[in-house]
Structure 1
Amino acid sequence: MTTLTATTPVQRVSALTGRLIIPLQRGYLNDESHAVAALARLRRGAGKDVSQMPDLWGLADTGPLHDRPAEGGRPLSESDLLRAENAVYAALTLWALHQQSRGTAMHRPGSDTAPRALGAAVRQLMPPGEIAELIRKRLVRAATAPGLTTLNQRLRELVLLLRGSDIALDYALLAGQLYSWQEPSGREAVRRMWGRSFHSYRAPDQNEAGTPAAADDTTDKDAS
C-alpha cells in the first residue's frame, strides 16, 4: 500500500480516485478480464448508497485514506473517512457506468484548454451557443439534491447522457467535489463550481475545415 502524498481531505480523495481508476481503465480498454469484471461489479452500484452494496467492499482499496499523509498533516477523522469513502465509491461507480461499452477513456483529467468538470461536460451536450433547457434542468436537479443518495441517482442520469455522447469527465475532480458536498457548508461551494464550469465552457475553436484546431491535452492539472 502506498501512502498518499496529498494533504487535505479533498486532495486525498481526488488523488486516490484517480489512482484507482487509471489502471482499471487501462485494463478495460485492453479487454483484460479482471478489469472488465471489476467494472461490471462497480457499475451495479452507480446511483446507490455504498452501504447497500456489500459486493463492492474490498473491490477498491481505500486503505490509504486511513494513513497519515506522507507530507504531514492530520489523519482523517471518522466523519472525514465516511465522507471520503462515500465520495470515492460514488465516483468509481459512476465512472464504471460511464466507461461501459466505450472504446476511449471516459475519465480524463481536465485542463484549462480542455475543462472536464461536471458543468463543462454537461454544457458539451448542448449545441454551441445554445442552452438546452431540459439538460440544464438535470444539472440543476443534481446540484439541489437533498442528500447524497439522491445526488448519486441524479448524477447517474447525467452520466448516461455523457456516455451516449462520448463526453469524458474528470472523476478525480468529481470525487473531491462529492467529498466537499457532504461537508456542512460544502454544498453551496460545489454548486458554484458546477455552475461556473457550465457557464465558462466554450466550444473549441474550429479551423477552416470545420474540425477542432487541436486535440485535447489530458495531462495538465485538474480544472475546477
Structure 2
Amino acid sequence: MKNTVLHKANTRGHADHGWLNANHSFSFASWYNPERIQFGMLRVLNDDTIAAGMGFGTHPHDNMEIITIPLEGDLAHKDSMGNAEVIKTGDVQVMSAGTGIQHSEFNPNADQRTKLFQIWVFPKYRNVTPRYQQITLDESEQKNNFAQILSPNADDAGVWIYQDAWFFLADFDKDFTKTYTLNKEGNGLYVFVISGTITVDGQELETRDGLGIWDFTNLEIKASTEAKFLLMEIPMNQ
C-alpha cells in the first residue's frame, strides 16, 4: 500500500534576509515544523535566491552529504580542502562533509542573481574523510527522460554520495508519460517540481510542489504542461 506526503509550494518555510530569499521544504534555521523534519534520509531541500555579490561566509558542516544544483547564475565555492570553484547553471556539486569541513558560498556576479537548490542527505557512514566533486551535466539527456545526476556508485553517471540514493533531473514535453522504477527496495521517492505541472500516481503537482511517496515499486509520471522536475530516491530508514 503506497504512502504519500504532499508539500504544496506555499506551505514551505520562508525567510527573506534581503540578500537571501530562501524557501525550506523541511525545517531549517529559524523555521521549525515538527511534521516537516525530513523525508527518510533527506534532511534539507532549500530553494535559495542569492542577490548579486552576496553569499554565505565560511561555516562548518560534518557528517552530511551536501548537494548543490544551480538553476540560474553561478556560485563561487571555497573550502578547507583547498577547493576554489565556480558552480554554474547545468552543474551539480557534492560535498561529503564527513569528519568536518569549512566552506563559503557566494554569488560572484555583480549584476545577476543566483538561484539554486541545496539538498542535505544523511550519510550511510559517519566520519568519512571529507570529499568534493563537481560535474557539468548534459542537459539534453533530461529531455523526456530521467537523467541520473547522483548515485551511490563512483563509476555511474553523475556525482556519488555515501548513501543508497539516486537523483534524476527530467524535462518532459506536455503529455509525455514515463514510469519510474525504484533502484533499491525499501527506498522512497521525493518528487520536486522545478517548473510546470505534472501528475505523479494521480496526484497533480505544480511548480515548487513536493511529493514524498513510499511503499511502492513503480509509479507513473505524466506532464500536464512542459515541465522540469527533480526526483530524489532516498532510503526511508538508515
TM-score (norm 1): 0.28
Name the structure, 1 or 2, with higher relative contact order (CA <8 Å, separation 6+). 1
